[in-house]
Amino acid sequence: MDNTGRSLISLEGLDKKDILWLLDQAALFEAQPNRKILDGKIVATLFFEPSTRTRLSFETAVNRLGGRVIGFSDAATTSSTKGETLKDTIMMVSNYADLIIMRHYLEGAAKYASEVSPVPIINAGDGANQHPSQTMLDLYSMRKTQGRLDNLNICLVGDLKYGRTVHSMLTAMRFFNPTFHFISPDELKMPEEYKEYCCINGIKFEEHSILDHETIAQADILYMTRVQKERFTDLMEYERVKDSFILKNSMLEGTKDNLRIMHPLPRVNEISQDVDSNPKAYFFQQAKNGLFVREALICNALNLL
């Protein structure tokens, strides 16, 4: 694991064995989600950015495992508005909690927190950088639906520039010989540094500017993402690109039987509501899998597995 103790900041510090072992642990939590492993433990959730799934599934995980949760979902209610630094906030909270789960709007904030914190940190998303717990649940969902992680054909669609979930996924999939299709408007292409990462790590990819049937027809996983309004400094540019790709049910005709539609959620317009009842739609089950994966990640961070 990387950084301090058993903090989880990115998936760069995990090898293939670590990833598969954590997924196996998550499967055990799916079979038995209410084991009281966290009795006597307090976990802090510090969310400097909005969240529904990540915060609530981490908090549900702690509650189901018998621990207790402190924290905030709106930093405006905290002393950070009085000028308290992130370091001081982390030092204070580590006086009260055994583990800190933090989402922050700045890239690198989680790594910095892990360097100053006496207790482990789990990165619940740092700006446009990484979202490792999301990727672990994405891998869990892929393995569960495909029966394997190796040799998958994966379309990543939408905001590949600011999308931290797709950045984290590249890191984790380097062990599994994927073929990626990066499908985005020009303004939101996969950043050069991640394409270089793919080249260095032998990850195959093709870039596309349209979501065409030929590409979808080869896919095992169609991973849609939201164009993230909150990352744009120019709202005109957001308006121009926000509806670049909208997946409709009719576009899924002739696709592979094993194809699953995934999305880290929340969605806005990029998956039409008529896809929801298609058996290939998997995004709500994907979010549910997050509970079991996060149970495993919390227990691992606290060295309880």
Indicate the residue type of 272. Answer: S
Q: Which residues are catalytic?
A: 53-54, 82, 103, 131
Angstrom distance (rounded) from CA 300 to CA 45: 17
Instruction: Please report whether residue 226 would count as binding ligand CP according to CB under 6 A.
Output: no
Give the closest residue to 152 by CA, choosing from 205, 212, 209.
205
Cβ closer to ligand CP: 134 or 300? 134
Within residues 272-301, the interface with ligand CP by CB under 6 A covers none
Q: Convert residues 130-169 into a mask of x (bound to ligand CP by CB under 6 A) and - (unbound).
A: ----x-----------------------------------
Could you give the 3-state DSSP secondary structure of residue 8? strand
Strand-pairing partners, residue 68, are 42
Site string for ligand CP, 54-73 (x = CB under 6 A): x-------------------
**Quick one: 53 or 242, whose CB is closer to ligand CP?**
53
Q: Lay out the site mask for ligand CP across 15-54 (x = CB under 6 A, - = otherwise).
A: ------------------------------------xxxx
The pairing of beta strand 121-126 with beta strand 153-157: unpaired
Q: Which two tokens stand for residue 37?
A: 């492993």
- Footprint of ligand CP on 97-116 (CB under 6 A): none
Going by C-alpha positions, the residue among 56, 74, 72, 53 that lies closest to residue 64 is: 56
- From 138, 264, 298, 302, residue interacting with ligand CP (rule: CB under 6 A): 264
Contact yes or no for 170/198 (Cβ under 8 A): yes
**Residue 205 half-sphere exposure toward CB, CA atoms < 13 A:** 25
Kindly tell me which of 125 and 178 has the beta carbon lying closer to ligand CP: 125
The binding site for ligand CP (CB under 6 A) comprises: 51-54, 125, 134, 264-266
